[in-house]
Every structure is written in structure tokens, then in C-alpha cells.
Structure 1
């Protein structure tokens, strides 16, 4: 019996906007958010006066409202921590509950220093007075590279996987990013090149970690009924959920089977009659390559420890990319590893564009259902199914 989920297909995405992703934008973070938000509002065929709800991250809602000239809002939610499904779920729930009719949701990445721009050539050199922000709310715990390198090492040890298996993730995303003008990393990547990458913390090297950028993404969300009057291609929020276990702190997770990824996946499939067979394009989060590897298992494409074999089975050697059953592309935009670190915002934005037939490079022909799984192992996993009505 499926869980009760009355919001299914009742809310839709009608506008999408993004800025250029760059190593050094020379713009303020508010300026980037305003640019992406204006683009999303225009894309929906609306004006600032039509927006009556705001939910975003990092940049506060009242600043965005003022920058955009939105006269008044009935709903706002400030500084939701990424990944981006949190903002989308908040906006979706607000619209469905009648708190507002049309909500703007946004996210920004902002890596440049306040004063010095000298770190722009090195994605892992954090300059003095940096604006980079830790996602973990608990600074006394391990997080980031330390955390994921530790669990990646555990995965390789426990399941007999190799660094080459992680390399397939990086190579797939780079092979797809080659076709995406929006991506900051577009040079082809071979296995030899991957293995030669500078080691950051065993077993993860430079190519296993997302590429910090300046940039912003925004969406406009409204009721499905109103969406049909605004666009010929509304993208319905079929299911959008979070997932978290009782072991939601990095060093407390007991093993690689009890993760937030698995909790989010179980939550998703409990609320839909769709299955992986219905999915046309898959967008797994890749803040670290081990996260994307583990998402294949958690979402149900294969069993625990079987992701390396799954990748090899579905690897297109001619194109150097993953093609599940010869048809489902994985992160066709290049993901966070190559397009740029967007904490899931780029994945959701690209899923919308794929369903509209406007992919940022590699377009999946006839795509009608997109699966997006943002977030990492612990306290921030989520899963979304987006679909078109046609």
C-alpha cells in the first residue's frame, strides 16, 4: 500500500533561470541570485508582481525581494541549507497549502574571496577571508573531504571496489560536460588522466570532488492548474521528499547500508506507482564521486556493493559515459564534478530543461520522467520525480 501523498502532480515548475558558472564572477552573491531569479520569472512569462512567495539559501529572502522589486509576499522562508531539494519542497508545500500561489526558489554558490581573488586558479585552495561556507551545522564533527574520503575508503575495502570505479563517475560526468557550454570543466577526461589527478585525501583525488564556482539557479513554482495556462510544458512535481536516518552525523553512521540516501529512496518509492523503468534521465548528486556511486545502489538500480559492476555493464566505451539500458543518460549536463558545484540546484534545473527538450548539451530525446537524487549520506539526502503530462 502506497503512502498517502495528496500533493502528487498538483504543483509544477514553470520557470527556470541560471547565471553563468565561473571561477570568479566579479559579482556579489545577491547580484547572482537576482540575475538567476529574473531569468526564471521571465521564463515563466511572469513579472515580479506575480511572485507572492520566496524560499532560498544563503541570501536572505528580504534582500532578494527588494532587489527584484517584488511588492509583497504572503510566504517567505530564509536560508534553507542546501541541497536544493529543500527549497523546492518548501515552495511546493507552500503552494499546495495555499500560503502563496507562485513561489520563487533559489540557490547560490559563491566561492570567491571578499578581497583576494588569487585562489581562482585552484578549486581546493581556500583563500584568507573566503566566502566558502561549511554545510555541516556541527563544526566539531568530521565533514567534507575528510568524511567522504573515509567512507570511500571503507567502500573500496568492504566491496573490493577500486579507484577506477570512482573514475568512471568522473569520466562520465566530464564526457557529458564536453557538450555543455555552461560547464566550467569541459576538457575530455580519460582513466589515465583521472588516475594522475592530484590526490587530496586517499582515495579521493581532484577529480572526485565537485568544482567550486560562483553562480546561481532559480525556479518558479505554482499550481499545476495555473501552470497549464502559462506554458505548454509544465514540469510536474510528482514526488519530492527528504530522507534521514537516526545516524545522521558523519562519524555516527554504522555502515554503508544505513544512509540518508536509502531513507530518501524508500520515501520516494513509497509515494508513487512509477518505477525505475519509467525514468528517462537520471540526475544523481555528485558532490563527491562516492556519493554518485552509492546513489545507484540506494535508489534501486543495483544491490549494495554492486555499483561498480553495474557501471561496467552499462558503460558505453565509444562515448565514455554511462547509458543505463542503452537509453538513460546519467547527469547529461556534467554534474557538480564538471558543470560546477551547485549543491543539487544544477541537477534539478537540468532535469526541468531535459523534460522541456532544452537540455544543456546532451538532450535525452522524448524524455518524460526525470529522477533527481540530491544530497549526501547523512543529514541532507533527498529524491524527486519530475514528469510532463504529455
Structure 2
């Protein structure tokens, strides 16, 4: 069936704001959301009276409920709101659909990460780990006693990937090192110290074959965006960043412990759908921002989108590795996660990737700026139940 995309380039990201990432902000989650939201509204050159849509964490989805945000900001006339689960592609898709349908004209999108608000991280010191990962146990919870999610599931699939294709941990290490090198140019990244392959291989093992550097960094922080029509965005202060295409992917049995193999996952479905809806091919994008909540996700993403055959993502990274800079530059030009990604900037469930894409396409990324960046490919989410794709371009 042909892939329809009637909203292509008709909706834009017109503003962004951030509450800085840190390992411990010593503040409340609501305070961080309001800081980011206020900055995004101001960045877009709008008054709060002009915000008539809100999407973010909901009462039953974690985070701060939109009604609380509306009340705290004093937004006087909201006509549409919803709470969604992360990653950020869910938020952006909901906002685009609301604007495209006319349900709202200017939507505030927000997402927050708050370590201390979750029992997992409140008890991290007792577990002997600064990020509380040991408390994930075997991946089971009372509500999902047979689950195999998080580090448990991804460690198992990473081991299968390496064994199936005869690869080694250096492939995973290239993902982590690339992110850390790029983070050095990002003053907002929480992990900026240099990381060499030797350091990676000596890293503390969390779940074989994934070490500390293969897993995103838990943080406190928040991001916010303003989404409106492309026509309206052209009258606002910043260069509009157009939402060119969006996708999601969900295969039958989209759970880590029930998936039959990596040849058909939510990520592969999302990749095919996004490319079918986009006018860009994979070599047309100026910035690549694959999700890296676990390093394996990035390897599989490169293969899902067609940068290499299954099992060859490590070879692709090595082929395009710039040894003088310790980072990947595809064809000497296109960076991967120039902000450092989830592994080094901080685990924001894709919100940091979206912010970086917007900054790059606006020409506001500072030392990280990609020359003449006009399009970006983002792949928020993992392999199984939350895979997403986003293609952005300049006006």
C-alpha cells in the first residue's frame, strides 16, 4: 500500500527550550518542565495566550500531566491536550496531527527526565551503583512478571547479535566513543571526558556484553518545543524547521523476550515507512541522529535504514571513522549524534536528539554546527515496542 504523507512540510518546529541536564538537579520535575516550556515559548516569539495545545507526560504515562502544566503556566485558552508515553516521536507526532487537523494552532511539546522521582533511582546508593541499574534485577516487575525489558533484554539481544554475526564489542564501543567525542563540544552534555577504546573495553560490565558505556546516562532535565503551521512559523523569529515525515513501527510480539529475530522489528518497520514517506534517501541527510539508549540500537538502526547489511554496522562506522577526531563522519561530512547522544549528553528518550536536530537546521549549534545543514534524520526509540522515525528539513 502506498505511504501517504499529507502533512509533509506543512508543520514546523518554531521554538525550543531546555532545562539543563545534570546527574542531580536538586529541584522538582515540574520546575524543570516550566523552565523549558517558558524558554520555548519565548524562543518562538509567542505570548502564552497564543499557546492552545499541550502535549507531554500524562497522569497514566509518567511525567507531569498537561493539565498541571497548563495551570502552572497560566495558559488561558487551550483547545487540545494529551498525555503520551516517550520517546519524543510520540509527542511530536501528536502535535503535528493536532496542528495539521486544525485542532490547535500552536502546541507546546515537553518532556522531562527526573531520576529522583522514581523509586529505582532513590534507592540507587543502596544498590552500589550511581545510576541504579542493578535495581533492574532480572527485568521483571509485579505488573509484568514475565518481561525482559531494559538492560536485561538489550544485553541478551546484544549477545545474540555479536554471536550471530561473529562480531566483537569494539563495534559497540565505536558508538560510545563517537558520542563521547562529540559531547566534548557540547557544554550541556553530562559526560564530556575523553573515552578511548581501551577505556571502553575496561568499563565496568553491567550485563554481558553491555558495560557502563553502552547504556544511556540517567539525568534530571527537560526539553520543550513549539509546533505550529509552517506558514505561521515563517512569521516567527527563527528559521522554521519543517516536519518532513514521521513514522512508527510495531511488529507482532513486540516484546524483547518474544521477538523471534532482529530481521523484523519495530525499528525495521519504522525505517521502511519513514523512507517511503520521505523525499530524501539515506545519503541525502546532512545530520544523522540515531537513538542510542543502548549502543546496540544504533548498530541495528544503521542496518535497518540501509547503511549496511545485517551485522556490518561496525564495519560501516570503522570505514567512516575520522581517527584524527575520534568520531564518525559519513563520507567525511555527515556526523552521527553531534551533541553526544543519550550515552554522553544524557538519556532524554530522544528529546535531546530532537533539540540537536532543530539547532543544527536553524544554524544555531555553535561549535558543533554542520556546514549548510538542511535535513536531519532521527530515530527515537528502541527496537521493539517504541521505534520511531523523524525526518526534518529547513524551509
> TM-score when scaled to structure 2?
0.93
List per-residue Cα deviations over 1:164-195 (Å, max 9, x = no partner).
11000000000000111000000000001111
Q: Deviation per CA, 1:213-262, whole angstroms, max 9, x where unpaired?
A: 00000110000111111135100000011111112111111111111110
CA contact (8 A) 2:115 2:122 kept: no
Aligned pairs for 1:122-201 (under 5 A) are 122-125=129-132, 138=144, 140-201=146-207
Secondary structure at the counterpart of residue 294 of structure 1: helix
The CA deviation at 1:300 is 1.4
Which residue pairs with 1:112 in the alignment?
A: 116
Q: Does 1:61 align with 2:72?
A: no
Q: Using the TM superposition, give the Cα deviation of residue 142 of structure 1 relative to its aligned residue in structure 2, in angstroms.
A: 0.7
Contact 2:8-2:245 at 8 Å conserved across structures: yes
Indicate how the Cα distance of structure 1 residues 139 and 101 shifts in structure 2: closer, same or farther if over 3 A, else same.
Answer: farther
CA distance in 2, matches of 1:360, 1:184: 18
Q: 1:327 aligns with which of 323, 327, 333?
A: 333
Preserved CA contact (<8 Å) 1:81 1:135: no
* Counterpart secondary structure, 1:36: helix
Give the counterpart of 1:368 among 353, 365, 374.
374
2:40, 2:225 within 8 Å by CA — same for their partners in 1?
yes
Q: Is the 8 A contact 2:123 2:132 kept in 1?
A: no
Q: What is the DSSP-based 3-state SS (H/G/I as helix, E as strand, rest coil) of the residue aligned with 2:115?
A: coil
Shift of residue 124, structure 1, vs aligned partner: 2.6
> Residue 98 of structure 1 aligns with which residue?
102
- How big is each residue's C-alpha offset from its partner over 1:282-322, in whole Å with a ceiling of 9 and x where there is no partner? 00000000001111001111111111111111111111111
Matches within 5 A, 1:4-83: 4-57=4-57, 58-78=63-83, 80-83=84-87
Deviation at 1:273, TM superposition (A): 2.1
Cross-structure match for 1:381: 387
| Unpaired runs of at least 5, structure 2 | 58-62
Whether contact under 8 Å (1:113, 1:127) holds in the other structure is no
- How far residue 69 of structure 1 moved from its aligned partner, in angstroms, is 1.1
Residue aligning to 2:60: none
Correspondence for 2:230 among 224, 233, 247: 224
Gaps of 5+ in 1: none
**Which whole-Å CA distance do the structure 2 matches of 1:325 and 1:264 have between them?**
25
Q: How has the CA–CA distance of structure 1 residues 25 and 287 changed in structure 2, closer, same or farther, with 3 Å as cutoff? A: same
Say if 1:380 and 1:117 are closer, same or farther in 2 by CA, change over 3 A: closer
CA contact (8 A) 1:7 1:96 kept: yes
Q: CA deviation at 1:135?
A: 12
Conserved? CA contact 2:56–2:66, under 8 Å? yes
Q: 1:343 aligns with which of 349, 356, 361?
A: 349
- Partner secondary structure for residue 233 of structure 1: coil
Q: Quote how far apart the aligned CAs of 1:274 are.
A: 1.3
TM-score when normalising by structure 1: 0.94
CA distance in 1, matches of 2:123, 2:26: 13
Partner of 1:296: 302
Partner residue of 1:88 out of 89, 92, 100: 92
Q: Specify whether residues 351 and 150 from structure 1 end up closer, same or farther in structure 2 by C-alpha distance, changes over 3 A only.
A: same
8 Å CA contact retained: 1:182, 1:360: no
The farther-off stretch of 362-371 and 352-361 is 352-361
CA contact (8 A) 1:198 1:205 kept: yes
The residue aligned with 1:276 is 282
